[in-house]
Chain A
């Protein structure tokens, strides 16, 4: 039952780098870690939220602007946490270039399970996805 639950876990992966994305999706499938649905951008992921409910998400947050006006786009996180399509309690991991105090401050109220910093490794993303599935099966 727990195995069945794990394999039916629906995970959203948002990552612009195609090779990393494909490696995670294919390895998750071969390891029966759950169904990983991939999106290359926040916009694509927002569209995907309309057609499916997810049990967890791993999201590379895009950095907008430059210099002092630099900020991370957390619209997808907000949609998952607070929007109609979202389930407020799903685990969310964030991938970011660096953990700035501003980013960590913004993440604090959004109940982020994990912050993954560069260099992004498929293994770390897969371990995160496995932990989401394990938590759901428990």
Chain B
């Protein structure tokens, strides 16, 4: 397994995440409905709105898991925040970065993963909107565009919540 390196701007990224005051807050319908919509649209069992903290990924919204956080060292999403575009892993068992990942060889038995980075400013990627399936698959151009739109809707909700908090 290849753990993702820390982004070069990790301190700045974490500062932006903490400034939102979103970590460890209760579930909110504004994010839950996007996660539910994504699960239905893509017919996947697991969808996460995941935010990457220092040592953990914490889920602001989730479908298909009762967990609210997992360790960052095994996180697929930590690979996504190193890039601007969507990361698609058609079959994690065939990918040397993830083939022996505990979440691939054990529960929840991830095979397919697609994560869209939540970019709040150039280079500042706080987490992902990600789709997970237990069977290999891929996304075509239209599906990638839909995932990008849903990611943009999550970002719009984060901005809206932040503006409301600022009064």
Contact = CB atoms under 8 A, between A and B. Distances in A.
Interface of A: 19-20, 22-23, 26-27, 30-31, 119, 121-123, 126-127
A123 B143 contact: yes
A78 to B, nearest CB: 31
Contacts of A30: 145, 148-149
A119 B40 contact: yes
A19 B152 CA distance: 12
Given A123-B143, A126-B142, A19 B33 contact: yes
B14 interface: no
Contacts of B149: 22-23, 26-27, 30, 122
Contacts, number: 40
Interface of B: 33-34, 37, 40-41, 141-143, 145-146, 148-150, 152-153
A122 to B, nearest CB: 5
A23 B146 contact: yes
A33 B34 CA distance: 23
B37 A20 contact: yes
Contacts of B37: 19-20, 23
A137 to B, nearest CB: 18
A9 to B, nearest CB: 16
Given A19-B33, A19-B34, A122 B146 contact: yes
Contact of A26 (B41, B142, B143, B152): B152
B34 A126 contact: no
A126 B140 CA distance: 13
B165 to A, nearest CB: 23
A24 to B, nearest CB: 9
Given A23-B149, A27-B146, A127-B142, 12 more contacts: A19-B33, A19-B34, A19-B153, A23-B41, A23-B146, A23-B150, A27-B148, A27-B149, A119-B40, A121-B40, A122-B41, A123-B142
